[in-house]
Amino acid sequence: MPKLITEIKDSKMKKDFEIFKKEFKKWQDRLELNDWQVYFKNKPIGNSFACLELQYTGRVASASLNTSVPDGDKEFRDPISSAKHEAFHLLLSDLVGVASDRYVDEAQIDREEERLVVKLMSIIK
Catalogue all structural domains in the chain, each as residue range(s) with its CATH number.
Answer: 3-123 (3.30.2010)
CB 17 within 8 A of CB 52: no
Residue spans of the chain under pLDDT 70? 1-9, 71-72, 75
Q: Specify the pLDDT at position 71.
A: 67
Pairing of strands 60-66, 50-55: antiparallel
| Pairwise CA distance, residues 29 & 19, whole Å | 15
Q: Specify the pLDDT at position 85.
A: 93
Q: Specify the pLDDT at position 82.
A: 94
Q: Specify the pLDDT at position 9.
A: 63
- Report the sign of the C-alpha dihedral through residues 16, 36, 85, 67, in that order: positive
Q: Specify the pLDDT at position 108.
A: 87
